[in-house]
Structure 1
Amino acid sequence: MTVLFTKKLKPNQRELLLNAGLQFVEYDAIRTQEVAFTLSRKHKKVIITSQNGARALLNNLSSEQLESIKSCFAVGEKTTALLVENGIKVTKTAQNGEELARFIVENHKIESFTYFCGRQRRDELPTLLKENNVACKEVVVYETHQITQSFDRTFDGILFFSPSGVNAFAKANKNTPAIDSIAFCIGETTATTARLHFKKVIVSDATSIESTIAKAVKTLKEESRT
């Protein structure tokens, strides 16, 4: 069995596949580029919904500005881990932007937030906050570029880690056999986009690459026995 990864893997992640007896192909379906930005004031409560946003924040804010952050609201375990490793307190970790927005509306409605996001960010979180009159300033800190690569074959599974990755793959492969593969997605937000292009979509139990790999391995092995 062979799976396709729309993101280059780390050695320990490749090891998980090799130990499971799966062959794999890997490439980066997207690349991100940090955008220069300036802040005129300190931001005490911030929202970060991706590791890209977290890295851009850490790379561009001064130590004084980072220390001024009193509370961070994040999406994804890896995003939270990156922030905590760099001394930023994370108040809430959600599985996706909509879940995070609902938590903020229910528990922090009268507070003001700064949302550090990508230029192609999804609408769910800012829309929900706006509809519920939660003050939120958006600061674009990175942008995403699609990488076009087509595959004239099917795979037993294709693993996706962002809606942008799904869109990049689908755009390049809408007329190829690869689009008939099973899509394994890191979270529900990515899966929502995948369902627009794939007949069969399976969502990971947790929002991490390792969990998505485990879900694919378990599913494909179960299917091979039927």
Structure 2
Amino acid sequence: MEQKIGILSTKKLAINQKRFLLNAGFVVIDEDFITTRALSFEMPILNDILIFTSQNAVQNVLQHKIELIKKPVICVGEKTKNLLQKNGFIVLNTQPEAKQLIQEIKSKYFDKSFTFLCGKSKLETIPTFLKKNKLKHTIIEVYETIETPIKIGTKMNGLLFFSPSGVSSFTKENTITNEMCFCIGNTTAKAVEKYSKNIIIAHQPTVENVIIQCINYFKK
């Protein structure tokens, strides 16, 4: 009897996302290797435009929606944009990655000021750009990421990674050997490179595209 392909997702998948993998004939384990905790913060005088780079940041500021919703937003990720629009925010611009959002700021919003609402373990891409170009800005950390390592006793063929924090948490209790690692973006892939060269990066930074790359690879 043919051995089934085993896939580990380092975050819990939605039912329909998991079904894609199960329908492809894979054995699937999905666990949350990180969690988030809201941070209390003082609401400052807001600048011209709000910046969000994650859904977590949006979810952790909704209690201040009445003040925040008065300002337009630029953001990273379609799902971040969808969550913002669902809650009544006006989204001026969305890009797949922070580097692309920076290019948009350069070409369209260079005369504006910014309030960046983010996590404590944020990437420094946007803050560095704002400081370097002396653009008026405020950075507000609204949540922190907590690693929740889990020991996986079953040998898997593929690993799905969605953040550098997820990689860090996974490797605290597990070793990456010859598994193929599927990463949501370049930053996550860089975190995996410390442990493996077996890396495939999603064409789009979405959970669904990570899953598609995984299915395509093992169904060749």
User: When the two structures are superposed, what TM-score results if normalisation uses the length of structure 1?
Assistant: 0.89
Residue matched to 1:67: 69
Task: State the secondary structure of the residue aligned to 1:199.
Answer: coil
Q: CA-to-partner distance for each residue in 1:156-211, whole Å, 9 max, x for gaps?
A: 110011111111112332xx3x4431110112222222222221111112121111
Question: What are the residue-to-residue correspondences of 1:183-202 with 2, within 5 Å?
Answer: 183-202=181-200
In structure 2, the partner of 1:99 is 100
Residue 204 of structure 1 is aligned with which of 202, 205, 218?
A: 202
Question: What is the CA deviation profile of residues 120-178 of structure 1, one whole-angstrom value per residue up to 9, with x for unaligned ones?
Answer: 111111112211222221000000011122335542110011111111112332xx3x4
Aligned with 2:140: secondary structure?
A: strand
RMSD: 1.6
> 2: CA distance between counterparts of 1:38 and 1:48?
17
What's the counterpart of residue 35 of structure 1?
A: 39
Deviations 1:1-37 (A, max 9, x none): 0110000111111111111111111111100011111
Q: Which has the higher helix share?
A: 1
Match of 2:147 in 1: 146
Which secondary structure state, in structure 2, belongs to the residue aligned with residue 81 of structure 1?
helix
Percent identity over paired residues: 35
Residue 49 (structure 1) aligned to one of 32, 36, 53: 53
Task: Summarize the alignment of residues 65-144 of structure 1 with structure 2, pairs less than 5 Å apart.
Answer: 65-69=67-71, 71-144=72-145
- Structure 1 residues 179 and 147, CA, compared in 2 at 3 Å: closer, same or farther? farther
**Contact 2:47-2:113 within 8 A present in 1 as well:** no
- CA gap of 1:139–1:215, structure 2 versus 1, over 3 A, is same
Amino acid in structure 1 at the alignment position of 2:64 = L
Q: Is the 8 A contact 2:46 2:115 kept in 1?
A: no
2:20 alignment partner AA: L
Is contact 2:162–2:207 with CA below 8 Å preserved after alignment?
yes
Return the alpha-carbon distance in structure 2 between the equivalents of residues 179 and 107 of structure 1: 45
Task: Give ranges in structure 2 of 5+ residues lacking alignment.
Answer: none
The question of whether the paired residues in 1 share the 8 Å contact of 2:47 and 2:137 is answered with: no
What per-residue deviation string (whole Å, max 9, x for no partner) do you get for residues 33-66 of structure 1? 11111213344411100110111122x2142x13
CA contact (8 A) 1:33 1:143 kept: yes
Distance change (3 Å), C-alpha of 1:85 and 1:24:
same
| Distance in 2 separating the partners of 1:56 and 1:105 | 28
| 1:134 to 1:197, Cα distance in 2 relative to 1, 3 A | farther
User: Bigger shift: 123-132 or 47-56?
Assistant: 123-132
Identify if the C-alpha distance between structure 1 residues 132 and 209 changes in structure 2 by more than 3 Å, giving closer, same or farther. Answer: same
Is the 2:6–2:155 Cα contact (8 Å) retained in structure 1? no
Amino acid at match of 1:193: A
Displacement after TM superposition at 1:103 (Å) = 2.1
